[in-house]
Amino acid sequence: MPLDRPRLLQAGPLLPALEQALAARYAVRRLSDEADPQAFLAAHGADFDGYVTSAVMGLDAARLAQLPKLRVVSSFGVGLDRIDLAAAAARGVQVGVTPGVLDDCVADLAFALLLDTMRRVSAADRFVRRGAWPAGPFGLSRRVSGARLGLVGFGRIGQTIAQRAGGFDMAVRYHSRRAVEGSAWPYEPSLHALAAWADVLVVITAGGAATRHLIDRAVLDALGPEGFLVNVSRGSVVDETALIEALQTGRIAGAGLDVFADEPQVPEALRALDNIVLTPHVASATRETRQAMADRVIDNLEAFFRDGRVRFSALS
């Protein structure tokens, strides 16, 4: 392998097509393949120009300190709660992400969870499969068309979900740090007021310390026994213990979750409930979107090594 190529450290397994594209352009070493990653970093951490990771694998300050000559990070995803941006900025390390290509698929899954949770599709499927139908009819579910949709977070994905809601004649309001200028949907400055108004609350805000347990017991109580929660943001945003209690006691009607506090570990208390739909963090997991994300990872690296700046920066 030519030694004049930029040297990249890859945190762990990524999309095979992306790994092939990286190997064709750069000298790549995959850290997860090392028998002793810490010993490897101690011996070779100064060898690398760039770091390729994902929103799940991230890059914390301790790992960054083990890479003293690192100049660029290219992450497969848009989540930043596991990447220490402050530490990267202090070092002058650029961080590239993959925005704008996963909005539709995340919005689609949010709506799939909303429909499944409110209409009890998965529960009805289980009912039929276990042979319960001959003993009596399946219970009633909640109408989706015309329901009130509250969005927690109103970036590109939140706005795409709001557009989807138009096809179901849903009333939409949103809560975020500030009102979005020119939005066709009304802004609700109070999260608790939004939860009290909504029939279904969809969470699509950023993760991290600032939003940890933003959806807490008080918000769930405001949502109420007829309300539903859908989370396609980060598991840390919802107080999982409070959610389990609310679902067990009927203080909310149901939930649809694509993300969890300690992935891939999902509490047995959640898995045992029948009023919840669980998916394994797959909101962006379509062939089309994952390929587009892979292309963004390469775009960021090529732009940096050509022009000195990533194309899609997390720090701008």
Kindly list the catalytic residues. 234, 263, 281
Element (DSSP H or E) covering residue 202: strand 200-203
* Distances, alpha carbon 255 to alpha carbons 114, 129, 158, in Å: 8, 22, 18
Beta strands at 50-54 and 148-152: parallel, antiparallel or unpaired: unpaired
Q: Is 96 buried (19+), middle (13-18) or exposed (0-12) by CB count in 10 A?
A: buried
Distance CA 83, CA 66 (A): 15
Cα-to-chain-centroid distance, residue 128: 32
Long-range contacts of 183-186 (CB under 8 A, 24+ apart): 183/154, 183/159, 185/151, 185/154
Structure tokens at 193: 């007021």
